[in-house]
């Protein structure tokens, strides 16, 4: 393969549609990349000279009859590298960067390996898990009807069909939200293969060296497999493989007690599996306040999920088709047996054997990439975004980081990362959700914080729905009356988050929240009631929170 890049000056293009027409005309064997701009009245074309010549490329454009090549020049490497973004990864950070980079005039090469296009969220994370969580909730609710005089029941008749329906959704969203978004974009090239960083502006993939002006490492993360004796020798599952099972396990042991572990635990338990959760720390969701974690733990246990905290797992083995786990629970030796075991104990960075360290990119001790506030790594032309950073592993923060990285590469002004208001949700039932600071975090920032906690038993919507599990907790700065945080444990409680998030973002005070009209018998009314609770006993309020 002999790769060359040429610049062609083109007469006759008057709009983006014209540029798209020229780009389509350049779909020919041997053309590796093309970036057509009607504003610049030119095209940058990279091609394999063993398959097609520059003169033949010129003829392709002239053959349209509408557009005419008036000049052709071969570009050297320093010209080729101008505004060319090479992205390693194919998830939300990668796609947000690709779109932003293209809008800022860069040609974009995306190199993806491992998970299919779309990355974790659409393939093995958010989309499949929330689909199956909702299915399990429907089944559970059918047998837990709280209304007198109504009898409902449900049963799981075909687990495999449920999984197939989930996969149809995954394939549909992968096509609509990822593949279709970029497939016709001028200057965009997608390569399937494992990339290795070759220099500060180049990568190697499939035997080809690709030169650019900037690199973005958005290679994501994978399930962390704990270093437990025997675990590697048994057929363990992760969230990636658990959602592909075609038969419902009779019993499950789940290693971990955070977001992924708890969502999977309740989902499988509601579908009919006997579930045991083994968490290393003293509480599930150990970084959250005890009132939230203890209440959620209680609700999960009421559904038959066995939750044991304070575990030191000693060994995992397989006997007669069953998985055996030997552990110390608060120092006392215990043994658990189940049909399947799922490792849900955090995430590991996809940075192995990528040539990062060799080319000067600084990694954290756990293998994630270190970046500064503008998202470049220790190498100025190499940026990183998404789960590979090891913090705030949400699809929406990954997309934010990917877009910000591309904007900082090619935009006129550089912006700093800002995570001051990042909502989060654990999709259990009831959902655990939060935004901003809790009481402990506020104290660490020297904020004189005050808390109002409203049980859902005082929210009319919850009373009418016959489901009063959980609470709404607001945290305010006593000095300014501004809301600084919220923690919610409620069925569909995540739907309350954005009111609190906007209040924090724009400095809305608790007094202002109290004065807002909140429709009666909506869950959002609970925010107003919680705000009023700072100064009044909720028991003294009328039905319309007055």
Q: pTM to 2 decimals?
A: 0.83
In this structure, are 291 and 385 located in the same domain?
no
What value does the mean pLDDT take over residues 196-208?
A: 94
- Domain end call among 294, 317, 344: 344
Using a pLDDT cut of 90, give the percent of the chain over it. 84
CA distance linking residue 282 with residue 226, whole number of Å: 18
Question: Residue 324 falls within a domain, yes or no?
Answer: yes
pLDDT one-digit tens code per residue, 283-314: 999 999 999 999 999 999 999 999 999 999 99
In this structure, are 194 and 302 located in the same domain?
no
* Tally of structural domains, the chain: 4
Q: How many CB atoms are closer than 10 A to CB 89?
A: 30
Q: In Å, what is the CA distance from 329 to each residue of 224, 281, 282? A: 22, 10, 10
3-state helix, strand, coil in the chain (%, to 5): 35, 25, 40
- The helix (H) or strand (E) run that includes residue 514 is helix 510-515
pLDDT one-digit tens code per residue, 404-435: 999 999 988 889 999 999 999 999 999 999 99
CATH code of 455's domain: 3.30.390.30
Question: Residue 512 falls within a domain, yes or no?
Answer: yes
In this prediction, residue 348 carries a pLDDT of: 97
Containing domain of residue 516, as a range? 424-540
| Lowest-confidence segment of 38-47, 62-71, 209-218, 521-530 by average pLDDT | 38-47
Q: What is the DSSP letter of 309?
A: -
In this prediction, residue 41 carries a pLDDT of: 87
Going by pLDDT thresholds of 50, 70 and 90, the confidence category of residue 80 is: very low
In this structure, are 90 and 72 located in the same domain?
no
What value does the mean pLDDT take over residues 164-193?
A: 93
pLDDT one-digit tens code per residue, 340-399: 999 999 999 999 999 999 999 999 999 999 999 999 999 999 999 999 999 999 999 999
In this structure, are 327 and 241 located in the same domain?
yes
In this prediction, residue 388 carries a pLDDT of: 98
Q: Is the pLDDT of residue 78 over 70?
A: no
Mean residue pLDDT of the chain comes to: 93
Going by pLDDT thresholds of 50, 70 and 90, the confidence category of residue 543 is: low
Concatenating the DSSP letter of every residue in 167-179 gives HHHHHHHHIIIII
Q: Is the pLDDT of residue 10 over 90?
A: yes
Q: Is the pLDDT of residue 103 over 80?
A: yes
In this prediction, residue 4 carries a pLDDT of: 80
| Lowest-confidence segment of 43-57, 118-132, 311-325, 474-488 by average pLDDT | 43-57
Q: Is the pLDDT of residue 50 over 90?
A: no
């Amino acid at each position: 393969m002999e790769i060359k890049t040429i610049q062609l000056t083109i007469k006759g293009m008057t709009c983006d549609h014209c540029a798209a027409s020229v780009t389509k005309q350049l779909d020919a064997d041997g053309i590796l990349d093309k970036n057509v701009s009607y504003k610049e009245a030119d095209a940058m074309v990279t091609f394999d000279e063993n398959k097609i010549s520059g003169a033949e490329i010129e003829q392709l454009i002239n053959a349209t009859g509408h557009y005419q090549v008036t000049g052709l020049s071969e570009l050297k490497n320093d010209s080729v590298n101008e505004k060319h973004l090479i992205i390693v990864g194919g998830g939300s950070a990668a796609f947000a960067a690709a779109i932003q980079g293209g809008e800022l005039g860069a040609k974009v090469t995306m190199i993806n390996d491992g998970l299919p296009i779309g990355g974790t969220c659409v393939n093995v994370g958010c989309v499949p898990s929330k689909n199956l969580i909702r299915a399990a909730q429907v089944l559970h609710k059918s047998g837990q009807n709280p209304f007198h005089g109504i009898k409902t029941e449900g049963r799981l008749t075909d687990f495999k069909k449920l999984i197939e329906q989930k996969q149809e959704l995954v394939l549909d969203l992968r096509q609509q939200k990822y593949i279709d978004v970029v497939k016709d974009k001028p200057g965009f090239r997608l390569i399937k293969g494992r990339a290795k960083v070759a220099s500060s502006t180049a990568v190697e993939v499939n035997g080809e060296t690709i030169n650019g002006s900037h690199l973005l490492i958005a290679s994501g993360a994978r399930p962390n497999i704990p270093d437990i004796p025997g675990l590697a020798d048994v057929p363990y599952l992760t969230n990636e493989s658990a959602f592909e099972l075609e038969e419902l396990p009779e019993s499950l042991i789940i290693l971990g007690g955070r977001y992924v572990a708890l969502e999977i635990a309740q989902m499988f338990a509601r579908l009919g599996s006997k579930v045991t959760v083994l968490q290393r720390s003293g509480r599930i969701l150990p970084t959250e306040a005890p009132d939230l974690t203890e209440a959620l733990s209680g609700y999960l246990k009421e559904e038959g999920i066995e939750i044991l905290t304070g575990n030191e797992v000693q060994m995992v083995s397989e006997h007669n088709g069953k998985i055996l786990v030997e552990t110390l629970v608060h120092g006392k030796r215990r043994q658990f047996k189940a049909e399947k075991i799922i490792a849900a104990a955090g995430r590991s960075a996809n940075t192995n054997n990528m040539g990062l360290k060799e080319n000067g990119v600084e990694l954290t001790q756990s293998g994630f990439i270190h970046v500064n506030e503008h998202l470049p790594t220790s190498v100025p032309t190499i940026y990183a975004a998404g789960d590979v950073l090891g913090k705030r592993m949400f699809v929406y923060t990954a997309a934010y980081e990917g877009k910000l990285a591309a904007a900082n590469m090619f935009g006129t002004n550089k912006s700093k990362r800002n995570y001051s208001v990042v909502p989060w949700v654990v999709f259990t039932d009831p959902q655990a959700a939060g935004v901003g600071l809790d009481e402990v975090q506020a104290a660490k920032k020297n904020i004189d914080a005050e808390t109002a906690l409203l049980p859902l038993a005082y929210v009319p919507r919850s009373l009418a729905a016959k489901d009063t599990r959980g609470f709404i907790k607001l945290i305010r700065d006593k000095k300014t009356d501004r809301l600084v945080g919220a923690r919610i444990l409620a069925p569909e409680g995540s739907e309350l988050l954005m009111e609190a998030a906007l209040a924090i973002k724009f400095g809305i005070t608790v007094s202002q929240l109290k004065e807002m009209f909140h429709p009666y018998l909506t869950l959002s009314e609970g925010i107003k009631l919680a705000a009023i609770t700072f100064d009044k006993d909720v028991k003294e309020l009328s039905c319309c929170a007055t």
